[in-house]
């Protein structure tokens, strides 16, 4: 069941990032680098508005799983009701800020007028809120561990959004039209999410939340929201700082590189995308006895699947960007390398974070997130005057690494695990993944991407992936670094069957 749910979650994430990567060069060609940067900055601002829901929408799937085990159907309806109320409140506040805000900083984004910037911000708020409504509806199916229907709806939404976005760019290269097309596509996605809930539940469970239910979910959500805030500080604040301190073109360059890195990171997180509701239900049914075994196993799988993707992204960065964009913005390849390396340690800690949240201990994650965010701000302020553009990125990279190490130490102490348990789970798959990648580095350096055509760069990337897969996959499967269903013997057995 967990493998099936993980595969369903993966389809949504992979299609979303695939379409995002396909649209980026079209956006650059039709809108230009500066307007691409404006879109990145307004999207980051709208994402910050999402903090106003106090983490409610992020927590619902966990509570639905808990109430499902308890057989409390009314409580599940209260979860949906509270989520919809929270998103509506955020939508109203976000719309007000978007309407009055452009006059305050339109000068910093001088490539767009204040009136157009207001419309783009309103579109960004609408996109975020429509997505949040979908997340509330999908939390029912996800909490019930029935993740195929909501992700079919999500993939449908991704396809509609890609089609609308591409059509808008080709018809008229205008950022306002592009934003409106995105917003309308996600509005259609709400209908798809409703269909998914009705397929699983029979109707939409909806009930006015009681005071006790509000306090329980808001209390839990507020603690998980601190981790979301830290993610925003680490992923979005750099973009804003670069836009207002350097220029919007620097923010656009960062956004281009970040899309590649976040896509690679998301592939690594697919192994744990269905973990929180599964762990919550498991604990409610069987207690905490198996948590240590689950932690060690899924940490190994996460590293075994994510590190190859990150390592290949890092070593092929110049060729990948050249094949993708044609004309690569200055510093973009170096940003990809730096950010990719910065996510190695955090990915090794992701399983522990999901175990803690699923076990009802979000405070363990949120307190560490505060440390990470504070370290990011402090290091950025210290290094930016000395290193400029690179100081901002170096501060983020160091903060992510320090925060991950601190969290793992606290997690091991809380759950009575030894440091060697973590090292045994992380070390062998990491050594294999990075070792195979290191063998490709000399060949990448000898080829020289700057004199290659886009087709040749694409061939280098595909060739590197093929060689890496032929070497890594059999070894990782034999050593137990991959899920059993992805190993070669298991695939052969299913083929024969």
81-90, 281-290, 366-375, range with the lowest pLDDT: 281-290
Instruction: Express each pLDDT in 451-482 by its tens digit.
Output: 677 888 888 888 888 999 899 988 988 888 88
Q: Is the pLDDT at 46 greater than 70, yes or no?
A: no
**The pLDDT of residue 110:** 60
Using alpha carbons, list the distances in angstroms from residue 438 to 303, 404, 459: 17, 24, 19
Average pLDDT of the residues in 425-441? 89
Residues 6+ apart with CB under 8 A from 43: 124, 127
- 195 Rama class: left (phi>0) / alpha (psi -120 to 50) / beta: alpha
Higher per-residue pLDDT: 76 or 368: 76
Q: Is the pLDDT at 247 greater than 70, yes or no?
A: no
- Rounded to whole angstroms, how far apart are CA atoms 177 and 72? 45
Instruction: List the Cα angle 60/66/71 in 5-degree steps.
Output: 115
CA 145 to chain centre: 20
Instruction: Express each pLDDT in 72-117 by its tens digit.
Output: 888 888 888 888 998 898 888 888 887 876 665 555 556 677 788 8
Query: Where are the alpha helices (H) located in 236-247, listed in sequence order?
Result: 237-241
In three-state secondary structure terms, 392 is helix
Higher per-residue pLDDT: 486 or 341: 341
Task: Enter the pTM of the model.
Answer: 0.64
Structure tokens at 370: 């505060």
The answer to whether residues 141 and 68 touch, using CB atoms and an 8 Å cutoff, is no
Average pLDDT of the residues in 10-19? 73
Rg (CA), the chain: 22
- At how many degrees (to 10) do helices 73-100 and 56-70 cross? 170
Instruction: Express each pLDDT in 164-218 by its tens digit.
Output: 999 999 988 888 898 899 999 999 999 998 998 888 888 888 888 888 888 888 8
Instruction: List the Cα angle 202/208/213 in 5-degree steps.
Output: 105
What is the 8-class DSSP label of residue 209?
Answer: P
Instruction: Express each pLDDT in 111-137 by its tens digit.
Output: 677 788 888 888 888 888 898 898 889
**The pLDDT of residue 243:** 63
């Amino acid at each position: 069941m967990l493998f099936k749910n993980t595969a369903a979650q993966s389809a949504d994430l992979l299609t979303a990032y695939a379409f995002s990567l396909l649209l980026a060069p079209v956006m650059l060609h039709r809108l230009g680098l500066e307007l691409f940067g404006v879109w990145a900055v307004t999207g980051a601002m709208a994402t910050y508005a999402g903090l106003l829901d106090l983490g409610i929408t992020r927590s619902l799937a966990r509570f639905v799983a808990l109430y499902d085990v308890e057989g409390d159907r009314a409580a599940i309806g209260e979860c949906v009701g509270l989520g919809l109320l929270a998103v509506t409140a955020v939508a109203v506040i976000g719309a007000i800020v978007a309407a009055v805000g452009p006059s305050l900083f339109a000068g910093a984004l001088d490539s767009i007028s204040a009136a157009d910037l207001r419309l783009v911000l309103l579109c960004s708020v609408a996109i975020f809120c429509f997505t949040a409504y979908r997340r509330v509806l999908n939390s029912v199916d996800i909490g019930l561990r029935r993740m195929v229907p909501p992700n079919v709806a999500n993939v449908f939404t991704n396809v509609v959004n890609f089609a609308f976005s591409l059509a808008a760019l080709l018809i008229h290269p205008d950022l306002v039209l592009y934003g409106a097309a995105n917003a309308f596509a996600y509005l259609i996605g709400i209908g798809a999410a409703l269909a998914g809930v009705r397929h699983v539940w029979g109707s939409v469970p909806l009930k006015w939340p009681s005071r006790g239910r509000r306090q329980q979910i808001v209390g839990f959500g507020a603690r998980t929201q601190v981790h979301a805030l830290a993610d925003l500080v680490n992923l979005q604040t750099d973009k804003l700082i670069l836009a207002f301190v350097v220029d919007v073109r620097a923010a656009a360059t960062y956004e281009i590189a970040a899309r590649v890195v976040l896509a690679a990171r998301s592939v690594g997180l697919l192994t744990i995308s269905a973990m929180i509701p599964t762990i919550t239900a498991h604990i409610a049914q069987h207690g905490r006895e198996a948590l240590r075994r689950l932690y060690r196993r899924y940490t190994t799988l996460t590293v075994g699947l994510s590190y190859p993707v990150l390592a290949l992204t890092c070593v092929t960065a110049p060729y990948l960007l050249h094949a993708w964009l044609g004309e690569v913005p200055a510093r973009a390849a170096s940003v990809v390398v730096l950010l990719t390396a910065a996510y190695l340690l955090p990915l090794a800690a992701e399983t522990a974070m999901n175990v803690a949240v699923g076990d009802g201990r979000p405070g363990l994650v949120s307190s560490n997130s505060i440390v990470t965010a504070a370290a990011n701000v402090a290091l950025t302020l210290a290094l930016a005057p000395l290193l400029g553009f690179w100081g901002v990125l170096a501060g983020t990279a160091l903060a992510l690494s320090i925060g991950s190490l601190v969290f793992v130490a606290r997690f091991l102490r809380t759950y009575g695990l030894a440091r060697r348990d973590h090292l045994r789970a992380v070390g062998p798959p990491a050594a294999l993944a990075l070792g195979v990648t290191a063998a490709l580095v000399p060949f990448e350096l000898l080829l020289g991407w700057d004199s290659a055509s886009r087709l040749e760069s694409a061939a280098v990337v595909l060739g590197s992936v093929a060689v890496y897969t032929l070497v890594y996959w059999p070894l990782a499967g034999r050593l137990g670094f991959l899920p059993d269903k992805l190993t070669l013997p298991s695939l052969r057995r299913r083929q024969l069957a």
